[in-house]
């Protein structure tokens, strides 16, 4: 109910101002009439009505000109007292003007205006009217001036507090939306990396083995059968990994959650064997004592090896690659090298059909676990990928940009 009234008042400010001025004017006239019944006023009733109108009418402009509304009401009070009248009947418009001033201005300004108004209101009474310095009339006027200013200041403070809470809630909601959008983007990029790594690796092996089958199958049926079996196995593995990735996008109840283990360095021998069947021999060197890695680091290490060897198979122009896996006390280091020609190791993207997504994926996976990676040509020829993946994510991540994408 009260909320509806406030909404209506905000939508009809002119009607509210007219009603307020009318009520204040009637209260002022009643106060003048009460004073006249107690003892004759210093002015005729018509003059009192004009003075009441002069003090009340400026309240119509109280929203746009609060200083003028208060100044005119104060001036009328001074005039009334200078001509032998009393300020008590004009307390109502004066209090409304002071309340309006306190609501629409800062605290220091409002209380300064209240002090000036009190001086201008009580000062003439002390000079021109007999009686005690702080008699009942003057003390009552001071009390109303203080109450009106205090009430207006309280309302202003409450409105400022509510506004601050509203802005804070709005800002928090906006931050939540931005955070949700950022998480959606991060998840989309993560899924894109997974899809790229799976498709690029498996299809590269399938394409290579298909080419071998075309050239050697007619002369050696056994090679054809072996390659077809390998193609079938790689296709099945690719479908299983794609099914696992797509399963992450399903909602609860949309189907069974994939139960396949997440790829990691425990599948390194299987990965190397798949490249061997595709014609790339990988020399593996393991250093340090093997440790149990966090799942994110384990997956990143596996995908980095997979993508680096895929690049060698597609672009290196060599049959041998070297893989070094070193386990330290706080990090695992992955190094993949080949001795292919510079042009073959990093061909032009337009000629090879590459998009640069592979090396970007390596850098993104390394940065995601707080590691560093160096990708580029070797001084003695060929190409290398050297990644260091810490077991514990550091406070600040650093990455050494280098190399070019395919």
Domains and CATH numbers, the chain: 2-173 (no CATH), 280-406 (3.30.565.10)
Residue pLDDT, tens place only, 286-343: 988 888 888 888 888 888 998 888 888 777 778 889 999 999 888 999 999 887 654 3
Nearest to 208, CA basis, from 312, 84, 115, 297: 312
The mean pLDDT of the chain is 76
Nearest to 92, CA basis, from 33, 45, 145, 39: 145
Model confidence at 255: pLDDT above 70: no
Confidence (pLDDT) at 1: 63
Confidence grade of residue 399 (pLDDT, cut at 50, 70, 90): very low
Mean pLDDT of 351-370: 72
The pTM for the full model equals: 0.47
Asked whether 303 and 197 are in contact (CB, 8 A), the reply is yes
Residue pLDDT, tens place only, 192-206: 777 766 666 666 777
Place of tokens 């993508």: 307
Residues 6+ apart with CB under 8 A from 271: 302, 305, 306, 309
SS3 assignment, position 322:
strand
């Amino acid at each position: 109910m009260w909320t509806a009234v406030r909404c209506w008042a905000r939508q009809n400010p002119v009607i509210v101002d007219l009603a307020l001025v009318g009520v204040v004017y009637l209260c002022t006239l009643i106060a003048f009439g009460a004073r006249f019944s107690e003892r004759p006023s210093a002015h005729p009733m018509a003059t009192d009505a004009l003075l009441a109108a002069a003090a009340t009418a400026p309240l119509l402009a109280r929203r746009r000109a609060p200083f003028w509304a208060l100044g005119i009401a104060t001036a009328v009070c001074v005039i009334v007292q200078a001509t032998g009248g009393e300020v008590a009947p004009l307390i109502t418009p004066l209090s409304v003007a002071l309340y309006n001033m306190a609501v629409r201005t800062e605290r220091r300004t409002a209380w300064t205006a209240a002090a000036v108004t009190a001086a201008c209101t009580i000062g003439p009474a002390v000079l021109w009217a007999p009686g005690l310095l702080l008699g009942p009339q003057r003390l009552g006027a001071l009390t109303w001036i203080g109450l009106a200013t205090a009430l207006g200041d309280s309302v202003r403070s409450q409105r400022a507090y509510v506004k601050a809470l509203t802005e804070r809630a709005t800002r928090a909601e906006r931050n939540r939306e931005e955070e949700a959008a950022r998480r959606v983007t991060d998840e989309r990029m993560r899924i894109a990396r997974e899809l790229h790594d799976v498709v690029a690796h498996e299809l590269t092996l399938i394409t290579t083995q298909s080419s071998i089958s075309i050239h050697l199958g007619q002369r050696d049926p056994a090679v054809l059968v072996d390659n077809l079996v390998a193609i079938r196995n790689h296709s099945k593995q690719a479908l299983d990994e794609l099914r696992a990735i797509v399963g992450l996008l399903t909602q609860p109840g949309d189907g069974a959650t994939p139960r396949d283990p997440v790829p990691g360095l425990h599948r390194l021998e299987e990965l190397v064997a798949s490249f061997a069947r595709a014609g790339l021999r990988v020399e593996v060197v393991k250093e340090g004592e093997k440790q149990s890695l966090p799942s994110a680091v384990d997956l990143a290490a596996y995908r980095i090896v997979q993508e680096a060897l895929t690049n060698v198979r597609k672009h290196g122009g060599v049959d041998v690659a070297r893989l070094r896996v070193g386990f330290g006390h706080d990090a695992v280091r992955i190094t993949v090298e080949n001795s292919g020609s510079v042009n073959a190791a990093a061909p032009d993207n337009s000629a090879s059909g590459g998009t640069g997504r592979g090396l970007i994926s390596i850098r993104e996976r390394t940065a995601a676990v707080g590691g560093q990676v160096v990708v580029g040509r070797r001084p003695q020829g060929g190409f290398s990928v050297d990644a260091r993946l810490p077991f514990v994510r550091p406070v600040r991540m650093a990455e050494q940009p280098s190399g070019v994408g395919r």
